[in-house]
Amino acid sequence: MEDSRQAEKQQFVERFRQRTKQLALDVILFSKDLPKTEEATIMKRQLLRSATSVAANYRAACRSRSSAEFHSKLSIVIEEADETLFWLELLAESGTTTEAKVVTLKRETTEILSVMAKARKSASKN
């Protein structure tokens, strides 16, 4: 039973490692099509920084050496995912891009944010 549970946990961790990395890659591809205006460039940089940070910090959380370090890294993942969502919203609401172009990225970011918040809460209880 314990081995089965450990295998499930490892599968979840690997799926989320891939999922956060894919979000970063999708944001990189999306950002290539943004206009070349000064405003778009500023928002694009912020979006790229936060989305890639989600993936990098989740990866670091997976390698954490203590529960405190794990909690800290997950908190950064949550913060950066929320910031990624903010920049996607701002890009659409400012008319820099359309809602249709960010809807999938926003949905994935929201799901990652939700799962990571639950994981942090669960880890805090243990």
- Tell me if residue 66 falls in helix, strand or coil: coil
CA distance 37 to 43: 10
Q: How high does pLDDT run on average in the chain? A: 95
Q: What pLDDT score was predicted for residue 15?
A: 95
* CATH number among 1.10.260.40, 3.90.950.10, 1.20.59.20, 1.20.1440.60, domain 1-124: 1.20.1440.60
101-106 contact pairs (CB < 8 A, 24+): 101/30, 101/33, 102/30, 104/26, 105/23, 105/26, 105/27, 105/30
DSSP 24-57: HHHHHHHHTTS--SHHHHHHHHHHHHHHHHHHHH
Q: What pLDDT score was predicted for residue 11?
A: 94
Distances (CA, A) of 60 to 66, 82, 99: 12, 18, 32
74-100 pLDDT, tens digit per residue, is 999 999 999 999 999 999 999 999 999
pLDDT-derived band at 114, boundaries 50, 70, 90: very high
pTM of the model: 0.93
- Tell me if residue 102 falls in helix, strand or coil: helix
Q: Give residue limits of the domains in the chain.
A: 1-124
